Amino acid sequence: MTKENTLVKAINKNVRSSPRKLSLVCNFIKGKKADIALRDLEFTRKRVAKDVSKTVKSAISNAENNYQYDIDNLIVKEAYVGKSLVMKRYRPRAKGRASPIKKPFSRITIVLEEKKLDKKQGTK
């Protein structure tokens, strides 16, 4: 039995943060091993890191349960953010005016890839 498609995806829709803030955290974990990415997200001082780590954990469990991949060989191939809906609220201002407040939502997509590690790397 051969595994042709080695990509696993997880999408977290309607995350209550702007895409600009989320993309900083997503770029931070790109290209890392999945367990190292989770460890780095745990110690990141950004609030949105919890949502990103939740999505990475979901992608890892998808890989493990649906495709029987080894967790140790998973690498974060892609991590990107897209815009979702924007809530519009209004705040009262001076002289009877109102100014808009935009509360953006985002969509996180994490793509994991299974890389076969060489046994030469593990031995001295």
Instruction: Name the DSSP class of 57.
Output: H
Residue 62 has pLDDT above 80, yes or no: yes
Tell me the C-alpha distance between 19 and 83, whole Å.
6
pLDDT at 120: 59
Which domains occur in the chain, in start order? 7-115 (3.90.470.10)
Banded pLDDT at 33 (limits 50, 70, 90): very high
pLDDT for 124: 47
Q: Token pair for residue 68?
A: 């029987």
Region 62-91: what's the mean pLDDT? 93
pLDDT, tens digit, 9 for 90 and up, residues 7-31: 999 999 999 999 999 999 999 999 9
3-state helix, strand, coil in the chain (%, to 5): 40, 35, 25
How far is 69 from 8, CA to CA, in rounded Å?
10
CB 79 within 8 A of CB 111: yes
Q: Which residues pair with 86 in a beta bridge?
A: 104
What pLDDT, on a 0 to 100 scale, did the predictor assign at position 1?
A: 42
Give the number of other Cβ atoms within 10 Å of residue 11's Cβ: 13
